[in-house]
């Protein structure tokens, strides 16, 4: 009984300290942003940045089609300029029907023009403002503006930014071509040195892509395609890598989940399709004679997916030759990527971190000249072991 007053006081204290739903907001009072784009504005300071937001139209996304009535667009874009990104967003809030809501951003697009001038300042507001979540991927719009890319309507997936996100995930996980770089990862790597950011390109006419008729036909006239890997050095876009060079980046960074590699078969070029279903990469560094030597070991396992030539897969020596050919193809892709980055003096792979782990004293002494002087001349040894585990349901080809 002696503790009864204290318990009553404690219960009241807990009751009044509960926050409840004081900051709740109804869906109709929010403009949910699914995608954001940053472009170069004009040369005058007052309009340095051009910002575009893609806002979801909830009634169109959830309502579905009613009879033969043509729906409105599932998203709407708003664009404005300002001396800072925050100012341009504030101006957009004057046009938008309700308060801008940032936590559901799915992608961030950056126009190529501003990427060439520098993207360092772009991420300041993204990291500083608590309304943003920095887990969304960042892409560079190749040869176009982020505004135009966010205006392209897409079939099958109503919200264009969601379509971009799923295409990026497919390119990374299923085809093993282009990595997904989140905003927080870009922020961390910008402060350390070079990084790679996947690109996206508009295929077709921009004006047609901005119409709902673009998705009301079997073959869309304009579309968005994941393509290319941008090399960012000192915060600026230096060059683009595509095809095998881009996939080489994935091999080195141990980001290959699945991919398909074409091999030559007798006199036919690229007549064999090998699906790599398992891959693992390992990087080690040794310091020899005051110079770092990098060793990359790659193991890949796959199966025969398709043959376009007469070949008997039930013979052991045939499989062995294909394994050698597969290992050679992977090694050439990796070598091509490394050569390109050494020429650009851009350590996209974070080799410097491995050097630091191996010899901190050496790294402390040489880190300031790593990318421009040491990395381009560094010896890199590539070892690939490939194994083909399955030949499919047919061992002998019926192709003569």
Residue 5 has pLDDT above 90, yes or no: no
Q: Regarding predicted confidence, which is higher, 29 or 273?
A: 273
How large is the average pLDDT for residues 331-335?
95
* Residues 314, 173 within the same domain: no
The answer to the question of residue 20 being in a domain is: no
Q: What pLDDT score was predicted for residue 154?
A: 87
* Residues 167, 295 within the same domain: no
How large is the average pLDDT for residues 301-329?
88
Q: What pLDDT score was predicted for residue 397?
A: 66
Q: What pLDDT score was predicted for residue 15?
A: 62
Q: Which of 202, 219, 242 represents a domain boundary (last residue)?
A: 242
Q: For residue range 80-115, what is the model confidence (pLDDT) as tens digits?
A: 999 999 999 999 998 988 899 999 999 999 999 999
Q: How confident is the model at residue 16 (pLDDT cuts 50, 70, 90)?
A: low
Q: How many domains does the chain have?
A: 2
Q: What pLDDT score was predicted for residue 250?
A: 92
The answer to the question of residue 289 being in a domain is: yes
How large is the average pLDDT for residues 268-283?
93
* Residues 133, 153 within the same domain: yes
pTM of the predicted protein model: 0.86
* Residues 266, 355 within the same domain: yes
The parent domain of residue 55 ranges over: 28-62+71-242
How large is the average pLDDT for residues 199-225?
85
* Residues 167, 231 within the same domain: yes
Q: For residue range 22-50, what is the model confidence (pLDDT) as tens digits?
A: 555 565 678 899 999 999 999 898 999 99
Q: What pLDDT score was predicted for residue 69?
A: 46
Q: Which of 210, 242, 274 represents a domain boundary (last residue)?
A: 242
Q: What pLDDT score was predicted for residue 399?
A: 66
**One-letter-per-residue 3-state SS of the chain:** CCCHHHHHHHHHHHHHHCCCCCCCCCHHHEEEEEEEEEEECCCCHHHCEEEEEEEECHHHHHHCCCCCCCCCCCEEEEEEEECCHHHHHHHHHHHCCCEEECCCCCEEEEEHHHHHHCCCCHHHHHHHCCCCCCCCEEEEECCCCHHHHHCCCCCCCCCHHHHHHHHHHHHHHCCCCCCCCEHHHHHHHHCCCCEEEEEEEEECCHHHHCCHHHHCCCCCCCEEEEEEEEEEECCEEEEEECCHHHHHHHHHCCCCCCEEEEEEECCEEEEEEEEEEEEEEEEEEEEECCEEEEEEEEEEEEEEEEECCCCECCCHHHHHHHHHHHHHHHHHHHHHHHHHHHHHCCCCCCHHHHHHHHCHHHHHHHHHHHHHHHHHHCEEEEEEEEEEEECCCCCECCCC
The answer to the question of residue 12 being in a domain is: no
The answer to the question of residue 126 being in a domain is: yes
Q: How confident is the model at residue 70 (pLDDT cuts 50, 70, 90)?
A: very low
The answer to the question of residue 5 being in a domain is: no
Q: How confident is the model at residue 14 (pLDDT cuts 50, 70, 90)?
A: low
Q: How confident is the model at residue 252 (pLDDT cuts 50, 70, 90)?
A: very high
* Residues 215, 318 within the same domain: no
Average pLDDT, the chain: 87
Q: Which of 176, 208, 242 represents a domain boundary (last residue)?
A: 242
The answer to the question of residue 263 being in a domain is: yes
Residue 265 has pLDDT above 80, yes or no: yes
Please tell me the least confidently modeled range out of 247-256, 266-275, 310-319. 310-319
How large is the average pLDDT for residues 59-82?
72
* Residues 234, 274 within the same domain: no
Residue 202 has pLDDT above 70, yes or no: yes
CATH number, domain containing residue 385: 3.30.300.210
* Residues 40, 151 within the same domain: yes
The answer to the question of residue 58 being in a domain is: yes
The answer to the question of residue 16 being in a domain is: no
Q: What pLDDT score was predicted for residue 400?
A: 63
């Amino acid at each position: 009984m002696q503790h009864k007053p204290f318990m009553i006081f404690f219960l009241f204290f807990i009751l009044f300290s509960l926050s409840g739903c004081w900051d709740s907001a109804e869906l109709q009072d929010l403009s949910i942003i699914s995608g954001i784009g940053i472009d170069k504005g004009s040369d005058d300071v007052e309009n340095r940045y051009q910002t575009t937001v893609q806002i979801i139209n909830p009634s169109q996304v959830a309502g579905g089609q009613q009879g033969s009535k043509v729906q409105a667009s599932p998203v709407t874009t708003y664009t404005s300029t300002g001396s800072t990104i925050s100012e341009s967003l504030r101006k957009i809030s004057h046009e938008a029907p309700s308060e801008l809501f940032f936590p559901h951003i799915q992608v961030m697009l950056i126009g190529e023009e501003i990427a060439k001038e520098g993207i360092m300042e772009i991420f300041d507001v993204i990291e500083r403002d608590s309304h943003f979540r920095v887990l969304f991927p960042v892409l560079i719009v190749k040869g176009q503006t982020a505004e135009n890319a966010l205006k392209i309507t897409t079939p099958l997936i109503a919200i264009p930014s969601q379509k971009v996100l799923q295409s990026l995930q497919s390119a990374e996980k299923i085809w093993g071509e282009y990595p997904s770089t989140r905003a927080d990862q870009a922020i961390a790597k910008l402060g350390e040195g070079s990084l790679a950011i996947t690109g996206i390109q508009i295929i077709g006419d921009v004006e047609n892509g901005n119409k709902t008729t673009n998705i009301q036909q079997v073959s869309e006239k304009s579309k968005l395609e994941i393509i290319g890997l941008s090399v960012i050095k000192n915060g600026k876009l230096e060059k683009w890598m595509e095809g095998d060079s881009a996939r080489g980046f994935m091999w080195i960074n141990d980001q290959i989940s699945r991919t398909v590699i074409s091999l030559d078969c007798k006199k036919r070029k690229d007549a064999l399709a090998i699906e790599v279903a398992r891959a693992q990469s390992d990087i080690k560094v040794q310091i020899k004679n005051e110079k770092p030597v990098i060793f990359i070991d790659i193991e890949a396992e796959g199966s025969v997916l398709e043959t376009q030539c007469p070949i008997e897969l039930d013979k052991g020596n045939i499989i062995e030759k294909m394994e050698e050919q597969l290992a050679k193809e992977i090694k050439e892709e990796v070598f091509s990527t490394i050569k390109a980055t050494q020429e650009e003096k851009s350590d996209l792979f974070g080799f410097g971190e491995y050097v630091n782990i191996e010899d901190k004293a050496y790294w402390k002494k040489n880190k300031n000249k790593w990318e421009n002087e040491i990395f381009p001349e560094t010896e890199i040894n590539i070892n690939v072991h490939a194994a083909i585990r399955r030949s499919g349901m047919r061992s002998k080809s019926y192709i003569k």
